[in-house]
Amino acid sequence: MEHHVIKKAQEEIEEKTDIHFTYDVEREGRTAKRIKFFIHQGGEERPEKPKMEDRTEAPNIDVMDVFLSDLTQEQIDALSQERLDKLHERAAQQAEQEVPNRSKSVKQSVTLQRMKTLWDNLQ
């Protein structure tokens, strides 16, 4: 759509009038959800096209809740908050070392995997 409709319209308006327009495609993932148009007078300096922003947010994983949901009630009762916090902290450190430049959700996922591994090793 962008090339066949918007670019052609942009060229034609620029050629036949004293105005021009720029636009910004707002996406959710790879899907275009909205297009913002900006109309400019012919004498105005063209603004640089803004760089595409990532408007998608990864889900926020509550690692502790997911970890606890896999435990039995007896295991949860036997686990102190301090021990749980230490387990989480150690797993988070391992995840940071393993995937240092990855997104928050990747780090959370790896942290959860490391918590499960550490827990299994303690049992």
pTM: 0.52
Encoding tokens for residue 65?
């809740």
In terms of pLDDT, which residue wins out, 8 or 60?
8
Angle between helices 81-98 and 104-122 (to 10 degrees): 130
pLDDT tens digits for range 2-49: 667 888 888 888 888 888 888 888 887 778 888 888 888 876 555 555
Q: Is the pLDDT of residue 89 over 90?
A: yes
Distance CA 32, CA 7 (A): 16
* For residues 47-59, average pLDDT: 59
22, 93, 100, 107, 111 from 97: Cα distances, Å: 43, 6, 6, 10, 11
Distance CA 104, CA 45 (A): 39
Domain edges within the chain = 2-41, 63-122
Question: Cα 94 to the chain's mean position, in Å?
Answer: 22
